[in-house]
Amino acid sequence: MTERPYPTVPGVAPAVTHPSRRRRRGVLAIILGLTTVSLGAGLFSLAIFTDSAASTGTFASGTVDITSSPTVAFTVSNMVPGDQSTQAMTIGNAGTATLRYALTTVATNALGTALQLEVRTQGTNCATFDGTVVAAAASLNGAGFGNPAQGAHSGDRTLAAAASEVLCFRVSLPLSTGNALQGASSSVTFTFDAEQTANNP
């Protein structure tokens, strides 16, 4: 196809069309077109449905709380060989977790060593002292049952949360006690050590 020349006007220079301008206009048109497409794609990518959900939790630790009552278990005076004194003690679990417990005793002086302690379950009542033997008769100083060391041991006793039990404590002065202990005195401390049973074999 033959390109037609532009008409000339006498005294006026003919118009010249530069190809570079036409190229720049074409490139500009392409850039504007791509920008429009890019903006449209960006707007479209933000127009999506979203959702989220959350859950919460609460945690609380349990308690191990052993109690013994009465606080003063024995007040005995003027004992002579062959005498005995029996006291009921209530051991309770005031905590929220099942526990097991052991008893250890410490008594002072020679009289504390001579005195004998035996512990039984309540049975009919503590006066009759006919329950099951929990701790056989032994020196008041060092008597007890179970083991306060961590873990389950022979003789340990178990109490569920909020439960309690009555144990009968009998302290006696043997007939074989000699004259050397006349007028002697002793004090004793009963210590109940408890620990959780769960996850503690």
Structural domain boundaries in the chain: 66-196
Average pLDDT over residues 57-86: 96
What is the average per-residue pLDDT within 177-200?
Answer: 97
pLDDT tens digits, 189-199:
999 999 999 99
93 contacts 69 by C-beta, under 8 angstroms: no
Compute the Cα dihedral for 75, 78, 80, 83 and give only its sign.
Answer: negative
* Dihedrals phi, psi of 128, to nearest 5 degrees: -75, -25
Helix (H, G, I), strand (E, B) or coil at 97: coil
Evaluate if residue 12 carries a pLDDT over 60: no
CB-CB contact of 201 with 151 (8 Å): yes
Confidence of residue 30 (pLDDT cuts 50, 70, 90): low
pLDDT of residue 145: 98
**pLDDT recorded at residue 47:** 78
Distance CA(109)–CA(120), nearest Å, equals 25
Q: Report the number of secondary-structure helices (H) and strands (E) in the chain.
A: 2, 9
- The answer to whether residues 194 and 99 touch, using CB atoms and an 8 Å cutoff, is yes
- Residue 67: which of 96, 97, 89 has the closest Cα? 89
Q: Looking at residues 57-85, what average pLDDT do you find?
A: 96
Region 69-75 average pLDDT: 94
Query: How much of the chain, in percent, has pLDDT values that exceed 70?
Result: 77
Query: How many residues in total does the chain contain?
Result: 201
Task: Encode pLDDT of 113-154 as tens digits.
Answer: 999 999 999 999 999 999 999 999 999 999 999 999 999 999
**pLDDT grade for 31, boundaries at 50, 70 and 90:** low
What percentage of the chain reaches a pLDDT higher than 90? 76
**Average model confidence (pLDDT) across the chain:** 87
What pTM was computed for the model? 0.75
φ and ψ of 91, to 5 deg: -105, 125
Cβ neighbours of 129 (radius 10 Å): 16
Q: What is the pLDDT of residue 46?
A: 67
Residue 139, strand partner residues: 116
123 vs 43, residue with greater confidence: 123
**CA-to-CA dists, residue 199 to 100, 101, 149, 152, angstroms:** 12, 15, 15, 11
pLDDT at 8 over 60: no
Q: Judge whether residue 39 has pLDDT over 50.
A: no
* Confidence (pLDDT) at 45: 57
Would you state the pLDDT for residue 186?
A: 97
Closest by CA position to 98, among listed 198, 199, 166:
198
> What is the architecture, at CATH level 2, of domain 66-196?
Sandwich (2.60)
